[in-house]
Every structure is written in C-alpha cells, then in structure tokens.
Chains A and B, each alone.
Chain A
Amino acid sequence: MLALSGITVRYGERPVLHGVDVTVSRGELLAVLGANGSGKSTLLRAAADLVPVAAGQVTVDGGPRDRLDLALVFQRIHLVRRRSVLDNVCAGALGRLPLRSSLLGFPREVREEAMACLERVGLADRAHDRAGSLSGGQQQRVAVARALCQRPRVVLADEPVSALDPAASEQVLALLAELAHVEGLAVLAVLHQPALAARHADRVVGLRDGRVVLDGRPDQSVDSLYQVLEPVS
C-alpha cells in the first residue's frame, strides 16, 4: 500500500535519512522504533510530503500519492479545543469540500459521516461536547476519527500516545490496530515504547542514525536501537 523507497532527506548539508526503504501493507499496523533523533519523525514527514526528499520516492498502491490519501495523527493531538467534537471530526473532510459549503457549517452528509467515524472510535455519545472537555485519550481518539473522516488509505501517527497515560495508550493503539485490520488501512505509527509495539503492531521497523537496522516481528529484541555506541564519560 504505502511504499517508501530509497528515501534520503537532508537538513542543510546533513543527511538525516540515508536511502530508507519502508513498506506498509493494507491491513497492517507498522510500528517505527528508534532513539531520539534517529529520524522517525522525518520519515513520516517525508511520507506525507511535508519535507523535501533529496532522493527516493513514495507511492500509494503503486501510484503517485495523493495528499488526501494520507491522514496524520499527532502527538500533541491538535484538536480545536473550543469547538465541538463533531465539528472537529467534520474538519477532516475539508480537503474534499468546496469552499462555499464549508464556510456555512458542514453539510448534512458530512456531519453524518463524521458521526459514523465517531461511532468507530467509540465516542458517538460525546459528539456535542467541547473537544477540550474530553480526557487526553478521548481527544486522541477524536483525532483518529478526524483522520478517518478524511477517507484516507494510509494513517501516519507520530508518537500518538506519548502524551497519554498507560491505559489510554493501550486503548488508542488497540484502536489503530483494529482500523488497520478491519478497515484495511495501512497504519504507520512512531512509538517510544517497544512494549506497546510488541503488543499491538504487526511488524516493527527500527531506525538508527537514519538507517533501517531492523525490520520484522514485533516481539524481537530491539534493545540495540537504544544503545549508546560512544562511551559516555
């Protein structure tokens, strides 16, 4: 589904990704692990066309990627806290709405589709609450519903649970895995905790210094990713 091949990204002169190959299949939750600064976020941003790539290409279903095919979920959630949960989810559809119909409130079809997305993440009963009044875990599930309302084929999540407590983290990851398995989405999630990846991901990719050094079953040992090579005095 999503295929990154030979991706090289430089910030200025310094290469941050060195010809990285990563694929995520339909119906698969892929966890990307790696130490801070190993290039995980950069990989996601390259996939979403948010940083220029020096070399390599990104394809979705073998063809060129359409921006709307890729939905993003953020560590800091980024909902409009003062708006209702439903309005936040509807906003995921903006990319395909003409300007006119999106300024005078959302059309009924969109609101109903957004309700279905909320149902999908188990929060249909909170539709009219202010987004800011929900707990962190619930807000992240609303953000996932917003991503769904975009009708994506790929979901990219950068540390989606780093700001959440353990129970909420489990819930959000279980949700992402379920969306991959049931809806047939390709989900790529950057995670900080190998244990979470082992429990929920179908496959893990390990990055070290901008290179893929590990790709395979989620329950393998990933300690080498986080080891410090130079002795620290």
Chain B
Amino acid sequence: MTTVDGVRRLPVPPKPRRPKAMLIGWAIAAVVVAAHTVAWETTGISLGALVDGWRGMADFLGEAIPPDLSWKVLGPSLDAALVTLWIGLLGTTLSVPISLLLALLAARGTAPAEWVYQAARAVLSFLRAVPDVVFALIFVTAVGLGPFPGVLALVCHNVGVMGKLWAEALEDADPGPPQALRSAGANRVQVAAHALLPSVLPQLAGLLMYRFDVNVRSSLVLGLVGAGGIGFLINQSIKLFKFDEMLTHILVVVVLVVAVDRLSAVVRRRLSEGDHA
C-alpha cells in the first residue's frame, strides 16, 4: 500500500495467464478469416467490375431522375402501395389464431406433452426456415398472380416467426399466477386463459406490431415475384425500362415503410409504458 497525496493505493496484481483460452481465441480468429477469404472468392467480389459498371449506373440514374410524378403514374402507385399495406395487414392478423395455438403448444409450461412440444417446435422451425418469397412463388403457381397468394405466403412464414417469439414470451412469463390457479384446481386451458395470456398480452401485442412492420416490408418483395402490390409495379417499370416511374414507386414505398415503422414503434412504446404503470 502506498499513499499519494492522502489517497490510498494498492498495486493491481498481474492477470493470471490462461494459455488454453488464448489458443481458443487464435483458433476462432483463424476460422473467421478463412471463412471470409472463401466467401470473397466465391461471390466474385471485384472492385474492377464496380468501376466498369459505373457508367451503367450513371446512365440508369440519369434516366430515373427526375421521377415521373404525374398523376398518371402516382395514382396507380398509391393504389398499389395500399394493396401492399393490406397484404401486410392481413398476412399479420390472419396468422394470429394459428400462431397463438402453436405458441401455446410450443411453450414449456403450456405444452400438454413433450412430443407435442417437439412437434410444435418443428412445425414453427420449418415455417420459419422457408422464406416468404419462396412461399409466394409456390402460391403464385398454385392460385395465380395477385395479392391473394401474397397474403397466404406471409401467413405461412409469419406463423413460424411470430409463433416462436410468442412461445418465448410465454416461457418468460412469471410462473406465479399460473401456479396459484393450478393449485385452485384450474385446468390447463383455464390457466392459460386466466393467468398466462392476460399477463403477457402487452408483450404479445408488441411482437405483433413488430411483425406487422416487417410484413409490410416483406409484402413489397413479394410483389416483385408477382404477388400483387407496389412491388409488382416496380418490377414492371424495370422490365419496360421506365426508370423514372420506378423511382416514383420507390419514393412511395419509402413513405409507406417509414409511416408503418413509426406507427409500430409508437404503439410498442405505449404498450411497454402501460406495463410499468
């Protein structure tokens, strides 16, 4: 112990060296570097190609600016943006009942049996693993072009994601109130309806709003593969080399996405505030 200007000090003992931890650290670093090298080679990243393509990009932008804001373009664009919004909305709400059922079956504490739990988890994993665009391609083939296959595709993928998120929210809930009702003789369904779901409702609603936001953005991409909405118009304008119309559509998309994002954020903040009150 030394005393400098009345302040007591103690030298910091040297850190113990742990050779094994260092070895593991170096090994991880080597793997990460190797993975990036392989990825760089495989994807054909080339600054040269980017520079060569510069002129093409400039021509493209030259044609796109200024955007064609005439009503002839803007009107249909706004209509299609609304369709995109409706696809996202229905894709979210229509997946609520199935998501809820699967979440209850896929949460420890509410799953009636181990095999049900495993099965529900497997279904959710599958739905989550298949991207919504792939579902859209399948449904477009099955029921034809338009917004309807878009809704179906979103429902399928969203059940997988929202069911998982909800199941986790259910598992994180305070086990006390369910335990109290179980001891009062309530059965599984009654416990879920009267103790579990009322406690986690704000969390579930917050996740629902988050998924609504994501789904509106996804439904745009679905339009690109023919599932209706403004994505479809963007795809068409590119095919017809009408880049100024394309830019109009993109600007409308930006407004839509920002609006939905803000709405979702505000609602979620309100929900979590209400929870602490």
Chain A residues with CB under 8 Å of chain B are: 48, 50, 67-68, 71-72, 74, 76-83, 87, 91-92, 94-97, 99, 102-103, 143, 146-147, 150
Contacts and interface: CB of A to CB of B under 8 A. Distances in A.
B185 A102 contact: no
B184 A94 contact: yes
Contacts of A67: 185
Contacts of B185: 67-68, 94-96, 150
20 contacts: A72-B180, A72-B184, A78-B179, A80-B199, A81-B199, A82-B198, A91-B181, A91-B186, A91-B194, A91-B195, A94-B184, A94-B187, A94-B190, A95-B184, A99-B187, A99-B190, A103-B189, A103-B193, A146-B184, A147-B184
A71 B198 contact: no
Interface residues of B, number: 19
B169 interface: no
A92 B185 CA distance: 8
Given A67-B185, A82-B199, 5 more contacts: A50-B183, A74-B180, A76-B176, A77-B176, A95-B186
A147 to B, nearest CB: 8
Given A91-B186, A103-B189, A78 B194 contact: no
A150 B182 CA distance: 12
A71 B185 CA distance: 9
Interface in B154-180: 176-177, 179-180
A225 to B, nearest CB: 27
Contact of A94 (B176, B194, B198, B202): B194
Contact of A92 (B184, B189, B202): B184
For the complex, would chain B's binding face be called helix, strand, loop or mixed by DSSP majority?
helix
A80 B198 contact: yes
Nearest first, the 7 closest Cβ-Cβ pairs linking A and B are A95-B185, A94-B186, A78-B176, A78-B180, A72-B183, A80-B177, A94-B190
Contacts of B181: 91, 94
B96 interface: no
Contacts of A97: 190
A208 to B, nearest CB: 27
B198 A102 contact: no
B201 interface: yes
Interface string B53-68: 0000000000000000
B194 A80 contact: yes
A46 to B, nearest CB: 13
A80 B195 contact: yes
A102 B193 contact: yes
Contacts of B187: 94, 99
A193 B195 CA distance: 31
A150 B185 CA distance: 9
B59 to A, nearest CB: 59
Nearest to B192: A103
B180 to A, nearest CB: 4
A82 B190 contact: no
B189 A99 contact: yes
A95 B190 CA distance: 9
B97 to A, nearest CB: 15
Nearest to A79: B177
